[in-house]
Amino acid sequence: MASTTIRPELADALEAGLHNIGQAAALTGVSAKMIRHYESIGLIAPAARTFANYRLYNEADLHRLRFIKRARSLGFAVKQIEALLALWDDPQRASAEVKQLARAHAAELGEKIRELQAMQRTLETLARRCHGDGRPTCPILDDLAS
């Protein structure tokens, strides 16, 4: 026998304190497109639905979206966020695991920063060598072509 889930009208759901996807986006700073994406890849649970099939979000859903947004703003990759969410959801977690993830990510960021600084130095050197006038010769293009 199929389960019968009560699917409210949107107005009733909003009156009960639930939020549609537009409201959830506005309240969390996560776009509706990204909310749907996070649902499709399993970072958030499938949304409850209204009778007309509109997505509904409660405060716990919004809190989870804010967590994801903050993790993304710190540069964590989706797989890392999955691990962080699993730890966040586990009241028996060891904070050492969270610290290890954060330190590993900080080390990755440090390496990326060093790589970006090397690229910046190279571009600055090439730009200094370029005359930047009407001549067709250009050390920047020569370097890219080599």
Q: Tell me: the pLDDT tens digits for 8-55?
A: 888 887 888 899 999 999 999 999 999 999 999 999 999 999 888 999
Q: Please give the DSSP secondary-structure letter assigned to residue 132.
A: -
| Residue 66 CB neighbour total at 10 angstroms | 14
User: 73-107 pLDDT, tens per residue?
Assistant: 999 999 999 999 999 999 999 999 999 999 999 99
Strand partners, 55: 49
Residue 15: per-residue pLDDT: 82
Interatomic CA distance for residues 75 and 10, integer angstroms? 35
Answer yes or no: pTM beyond 0.85. Answer: no
Interatomic CA distance for residues 88 and 84, integer angstroms? 6
CB-based burial label for 4 (10 Å; 0-12, 13-18, 19+): exposed
Instruction: Please provide the DSSP assignment of 55-112 as one string.
Output: EEB-HHHHHHHHHHHHHHHTT--HHHHHHHHHHHH-TT--HHHHHHHHHHHHHHHHHH
